[in-house]
Structure 1
């Protein structure tokens, strides 16, 4: 066996290599047969790695200087982004806040005389609106810090939320499908049971205790009840919509709610959720004549996720406050929705103006670079 390497040395990229080489050379000088060098290296590598890895980790964690430098870079980037996109982002947040407040007002209204089907509809749409507001807020945070692709990934969920909200709101006025909201809420048990069974299969590997059998038995009981009530097709992902749409999938629900035109954006957003080759192709960005791999923040491309997120949020808000309202919308709600439409137009223009200004600035910079270096 090679002796442990004791010589003091700074941790850098060649540390491990030098340690192994020095240790082997030391043994050769003591009479080691050179033919055994490769065998000794393969034997020594795990020991050297195990010895040096904690040192390297400790050095990285103590390196406050690099941490402070990276934080400064981040803060400077965020300031530059706010300078270019601040107006548009402010309008986004105002619109988001108005939608959230309108949804809160609808949820607070006293509605003692609602029929059960209307109560289910209100509960479903309120829950979907809460989800839409939260996710739209996440999109805002991602955009504010230069992560438009991450924001686009969240837009995927927002679109699904908008489609389901529109479906439930439309069905509320349809005598043949007035129980759709109840089906939607009852479908929760399908997901709960699926997740519980998966956890029971994998709990030992995860190092966790299994779920209590009484809880699992209760899930099985409730699951059997909903299948008896709604049929075997209810177990599918969109089984709650089986009667409303025999082809119970998101694409068909999009068609029924006239939202199928958003499908190209939805597919684009999906490539930022699923790890496929399509998503890898979006890791490149063109910057001043160069094609770079985008591994961090960017200050371009904010328009599409911002507008997609706001459109979905407004659709969910409309479903809750207007089309799905049990007693119909009042004048205040209609006025607010009209104001929201005006703000959406202003916000869209602000995002477009910001991108145009960035493009113009970049064109001027590239032209100056080309004059200084004509060969580029």
Structure 2
């Protein structure tokens, strides 16, 4: 399936014919003497034209509703056929990736029980580490769903969030409860920024505003945090700058925890998130440009190598950080199994790229 085509679409000539028919119906309702005047008036009266277009839109919408069930059935069949074909092409690597996620989940669950038995409620860092790992695993599952559905750019974009979470997780493991408390304190800063934006646009969005008391209270909390931790605390990753002054943004946070070697891929994944010139020239949708300039807006059966490779690396890394947190023989065994699966996945990707 190379291009998505809306079934039962109205072509320009069909639409024009429908407009003329609708005008004819409206004018025929008038007395005969007024019809010629009505035709002239209709051509120059924007309000009359707007009313006619409104009626046309209603007819088109009604027609679309009648056809929607058939269209959905046809699209579902086409999508299922496409996904079967894609899975057949990528089966070894998709199966290996799914296996990796399954073993990661099993390993974390097993190790969590051991840690709770050993440490009980004494460890206040573990709950945050497990929450971050759960987020990584969930995003990894989303990537698997996007790969199976044929959306490579979307899969790579989701890896971006997976990477960000793993970087923060690494920092939290390094600095423990201090880092967690600073992240929590920073919510007063990011929350106040969000409230100000909301307050600025609430009328346009037809939403209820915050009260003046709520805004004053949020500002006081914000100002107290800045007074206590310094002006750098205003930054998006300002909470990390308190413990490590060299960390002023995500890039420096990546470098601090030693995962900055993935920066080129992070930049690549950002093209599917942010709008810049290269976003309009890079990706599977633009590789499919035809001579008429038609751009792919549906799924494609290629371009998944980076997303799958990076997701496997990051899932293995995040899980290994949990498994080596108060490690045991069993957790280290799981860590080695995960490494082996990830390496097998990389070998499958290399084989796939050579065969294409």
Give your verdict on TM over 0.5: yes
**Separation of aligned partners in 1, 2:287 and 2:86:** 17
Note the alpha carbon deviations across 1:92-148, whole angstroms, 9 max, x for none: 11211222233334444322473xxx52x3233222111101111110100011111
* 1:125 corresponds to 2:96: no
Q: CA RMSD in A?
A: 3.2
Equivalence for 1:263: 263
Aligned to 2:175: 171
Aligned to 1:336: 334
- TM-score normalised according to structure 2 size: 0.82
Contact 1:239 1:248 in 2 (8 A): yes
Instruction: Say which SS state the counterpart of residue 293 (structure 1) adopts.
Output: coil
Instruction: State how far apart, in whole Å, the 1-side matches of 2:14 and 2:141 are.
Output: 45
2:66 corresponds to = 62
Map Cα deviations across residues 297-317 of structure 1 (whole Å, 9 max, x no partner). 111111110111121222222
**Other structure's SS at 1:284 match:** helix
Aligned pair count reads: 335
Within 2, Cα distance between the matches of 1:36 and 1:58? 28
Question: Once superposed, which parts of structure 1, at least 4 consecutive aligned residues long, lie more than 6 Å away?
Answer: 24-29, 33-37, 287-292
1:49-68 Cα deviation digits (max 9, x unpaired) = 10010111121122133332
2:81 aligned partner:
76
1:100-139 to structure 2, matched below 5 A, reads 100-108=105-113, 109-110=115-116, 111-112=119-120, 114=122, 119=124, 121-139=125-143
- After superposition, the C-alpha distances for 1:57-94 in whole angstroms (9 at most, x for unaligned) are 12112213333222211110011111122232122112
2:321 equivalent in structure 1: 319
Aligned equivalent of 1:93: 98
Residues 194-205 of structure 1 aligned to structure 2 (within 5 Å): 194-205=193-204
In 2, are the aligned partners of 1:145 and 1:297 still within 8 Å (CA)? Answer: yes
- TM-score norm. by structure 1 comes to 0.78
Of the three residues 296, 304, 307, the one matched with 1:302 is: 304
Q: Determine the C-alpha separation between the residues in 1 that align with 2:211 and 2:276.
A: 37
Q: How far apart, in 2, do the equivalents of 1:11 and 1:146 lie?
A: 28
Counterpart-to-counterpart distance in 2, 1:39 and 1:184: 62
Q: Please list every run of 5 or more consecutive structure 1 residues that lacks an aligned counterpart in the other structure.
A: 1-9, 173-177, 360-376
Aligned equivalents of 1:158, 1:278: Cα separation in 2: 22
Following the alignment from structure 1 to structure 2, what is the Cα–Cα distance between the partners of residues 217 and 33?
Answer: 60
Q: Is the 8 A contact 2:18 2:56 kept in 1?
A: no
2: CA distance between counterparts of 1:340 and 1:353? 20
Residues 102/290 of structure 1: CA separation in 2 closer, same or farther (3 Å cut) = farther
